[in-house]
A = this chain, B = another copy of it.
């Protein structure tokens, strides 16, 4: 039995990993270990522990590591504390291999701790290109990892170019897209209006979604979000707006939203912290346009053919389908792009990030690939 440790550090990460977790649980030669930590254990950011339990999983270790502050100092100290905590967790669980995903600081913390404990790391979603600090962290995690599950051929090529062993680079597509293609999710007016703040939204009429996170490498997160707030205010289209994630700059964005609400008391916007994965996908599939800088605009939306207005640098460099219109932090650009995208309507569904059996292939590979610890740059 191979002990496989899956690391969950945010609500969205859990949502995107469900299929893999199910495969891991059922694989006869795998003993699944789950670590839940960082914002995934903060009720304000989605209580993953309760969701896990509801889905029949159990957390083997819970990691408290988020240093409050919403600024670069707090983010950096969170990473340091995270390494200290993941070291203890891995040392207790003694997994044969650790699976991490993405490009956030919690993931870097887990990868560093596993590295020093000589535990091989499998990394999902390496080789992508984007903006923000994520761009640096993603590739650093690649260079600490031993097994790579990329989501596009281009990403796989980049991982190989970075000197990784070609035999250990696999492109099985994006796991979250596999969940999307299940395509049978529902969300009701009642559900959406029971959570969050602001006026009720009617999902049977046309509405848009806004998800705009901080860009840690930029100093003007407050100014930037203001452009989006002004645009959405003036557009007067019913809107479901998601609060930002915990990255440095989150306080500037949250404060801008709060002050906007107090000042304008907008009647066409509902503000929501987060949704369970299924309801989120149902909402996405129903909406007329997604505005902001979430990777859901690039990935999940490509399958739906959902018109997206992508703002600023956060997703720049990521492979995208034709559904995405890129704009600057500029009220007029945002407004006209939203109007054009809504008018255009649905794009054809794209298979850019989709492959069949993503989760199954990842788990099969994890179960039988020969594990190694000593890395060596492949010239």
Chain A: residues with CB nearer than 8 A to chain B?
41-44, 62, 64-69, 72-77, 79-85, 87-88, 91-92, 105, 108-109, 112-113, 115-118, 129, 131-133, 135-137, 139-144, 158, 161-163, 194, 197, 216-217, 248, 251, 255, 262, 313, 316-317, 373-377, 379
Contact = CB atoms under 8 A, between A and B. Distances in A.
Contacts of A66: 67-69
Given A65-B67, A143-B142, A251-B43, A317 B377 contact: yes
B140 A144 contact: yes
10 contacts: A43-B251, A66-B68, A73-B91, A75-B116, A80-B81, A80-B82, A80-B112, A116-B216, A118-B217, A131-B376
B116 A76 contact: yes
Nearest to A87: B76
B73 A216 contact: no
**Most chain B C-beta atoms within 10 Å of own C-beta, residue among A113, A131, A143:** A143
A316 B92 CA distance: 32
**Most chain B C-beta atoms within 10 Å of own C-beta, residue among A41, A64, A131, A373:** A64
B92 A73 contact: no
A243 B151 CA distance: 44
Closest 6 pairs between A and B when the two form their complex, measured CB to CB: A80-B83, A76-B116, A80-B84, A139-B143, A76-B87, A66-B68
A377 B135 contact: yes
B143 A217 contact: no
A76 B377 contact: no
Contacts of A62: 91
Contacts of A144: 136-137, 140
B136 A163 contact: no
A112 B42 CA distance: 23
Contact of A76 (B117, B136, B158): B117
A24 B251 CA distance: 33
B162 A133 contact: no
A225 B218 CA distance: 41
Contacts of A158: 163, 377, 379
A251 B49 CA distance: 15
Given A137-B144, A140-B144, A161-B163, 15 more contacts: A42-B69, A65-B67, A68-B68, A76-B83, A76-B84, A76-B116, A77-B81, A77-B87, A80-B83, A116-B133, A131-B374, A132-B374, A136-B143, A158-B377, A194-B262
Given A142-B143, A161-B162, A118 B374 contact: no
A34 to B, nearest CB: 15
